[in-house]
A and B are shown apart, each in its own frame.
Chain A
């Protein structure tokens, strides 16, 4: 099973700041990585797939990069609606697994 490790666990930021979240895989997953956003009491929402392709309707301030074992999700200018928990998920092999999440909170 591939282990996905996200860092940091919590990020305290101010609106308007640039945010970078990290996700590492225990072995190479090529570009087979997705990112999700989850707000309190809501279901997760797909943000990014293929490591860098934005899902339908996702604002351009969200971008993904990386390949192999190291990936990042960047939010260029954090807006109030972006405070949430972010999860990465690999789909390179079975079973698919999620990272433990990074909470982006208001500073």
Chain B
């Protein structure tokens, strides 16, 4: 069975940093691209970032480009999102999601999400 478990969220002041982690199990992690998708309170889904299976290709939404960095450690079956210069509009539930292949298409498994609140 596939599991994705996010951690690292919490309350942070504007301008500060936070690092999210997503530990996975139940599939061959280094065969698949991984994604971060967020959902602001009461709002819809917003794609944030994608990293290919071998980390050779990484993409970001314009709203986070230059501030967020996605990485992965295939030896640890883990995905990471380093979030710098956080803004109130980054407040959201952050999901990690598994792709169906080696590069970004659609998402067949999702974690339960990790809440990030940016507020002074």
Contacts and interface: CB of A to CB of B under 8 A. Distances in A.
The answer to whether A and B interact is yes
A46 to B, nearest CB: 5
A43 B44 contact: no
Interface in A12-29: none
Per DSSP, chain A at the interface is loop
B13 interface: no
Contacts of A71: none
Given A98-B45, A100-B44, A101-B44, A91 B105 contact: yes
A62 B46 CA distance: 24
A106 interface: no
* Tier of interface size on chain A: 20 to 34
Nearest to A43: B110
A34 B44 contact: no
B47 A97 contact: yes
Given A43-B95, A44-B110, A95 B45 contact: no
Nearest to A46: B108
Contacts of A83: none
Contacts of B110: 43-45
